[in-house]
Amino acid sequence: MTSATFLLHVQDEALRREALEVLRHSVNSVPFQEHSGTWDSLIQQIGAVKPDVLLLDLSVLPLELSVAIRQLRFQNPRLKVIAIHATADPHVILSAMRGGANEFVHCPLKESLRSALDRLALGDEATTAARGKVIGFLSAKGGCGATTVSCHVAAELQNLTRRSVLLADLDLTSGLVGFLMKTPSSYSVLDGIKNLSRLDESLWKALVIEHKPGLSVIPAPAVYSRWDHPDEEQLIQLLQFMRTQHEWVILDLGRSLNSIASAVLGEIDQLFLISTLEVVALHGLKTIVHGLFEQGEKLRLVLNRTPKTMNISRQELEKVLGRSLYAALPNDYMSLYQSYSNGNLLDAHNRLAQEFSRFASKIAGVQPMKTKKKFALFG
């Protein structure tokens, strides 16, 4: 990891000496710092220094590891954590990996830490070579329109950027993306997960469906049971592979803070929470926002099916929610109904479609595409 910066928070003196010895001989001139203060001061230093890798002594944690790592990554979302422990206790190893550590090493560190550094270096090379952006859409409750928004935004991102876009349906119980995009397939995201060990570019192309040039779709399974539910590590590996194949990965995450959405949060660059003005939806939105406070700026709020006249101002609503709105999309249920009945997404001249285009342009950081006016003989 030739360009990485390291921070050590190792208070066990024997472990500290071993770790320093490995670092000095493995990363040569790469800078590293040591921290020996309190947990709160470590959190502050992570935020100030933004190291790439933290070597963390598990014996000195003042709280549960998963909570500790969430606090650390709130300060630096891309932080890699190498958990260090004196022994190879299976319970400690399992706890570390479930808690979100990237690597677990134990004494003697000469081999285990060096191998961990090599694995992280390989991961960095793959990330540098190709790392697309992952955008997630999550409904505050069922019926808020996350699927509709994700489908249209995926199409608009491809139109605007002319880059490779993947629309992936991780709402395994509903699975409406394939239906709305009219991309029937014998394969699904579960097939990608089942074949992780041999997943490569050629197999991936066989699994996804090309909706149009530059826009691919991988749907949810047609039939799903709880026995098929993927684990967190499998989901993360699949998303990491998707990043290498597409510049944009759009995820339909379903509704509420479900287990899949929770599992992939660390891989998501921006998470859009979709709500309507319904009281139940807004309550669900506030609950999710409170639960994801540590996600910081990656969390965005979108108000869908916004009526022309609201009983509450946008400023008042933002005050209630505790966050600003990223976008407010108008209500055009009839146009959506007609488009879906005809097997299409919204026509580009539709007002809601133009709002989707502006929404996508804001995500991509590009100018929105101007829509040509339709020719009318009599004005």
Domain boundaries, the chain: 6-128, 132-364
Q: Check if CATH label 3.40.50.300 holds for domain 132-364.
A: yes
For the chain, residues with pLDDT lower than 50 are: 1-2, 126-129, 375-379
CATH architecture type of domain 6-128: 3-Layer(aba) Sandwich (3.40)
Least Cα distance to 162 among 297, 332, 364 occurs for 364
Residue 305's SS3 state is strand
Q: Tell me the pTM.
A: 0.66
Task: Express each pLDDT in 254-268 by its tens digit.
Answer: 999 899 999 999 889
pLDDT of residue 123: 55
Least Cα distance to 174 among 155, 202, 148, 197 occurs for 148
Task: Express each pLDDT in 284-340 by its tens digit.
Answer: 998 998 888 666 678 999 999 999 888 888 899 888 888 899 999 999 989 999 998
Domains 6-128 and 132-364 belong to one CATH topology: yes
Least Cα distance to 304 among 140, 136, 151 occurs for 140
pLDDT of residue 335: 93
CB atoms within 10 A of CB 317: 19
pLDDT of residue 215: 96
Please list the residues that pair with 169 across neighbouring strands. 252
What is d(CA 37, CA 208) in angstroms, rounded to the nearest whole number? Answer: 50
Q: How far is CA 245 from CA 5, 149, 218, 267, in A?
A: 28, 23, 13, 15
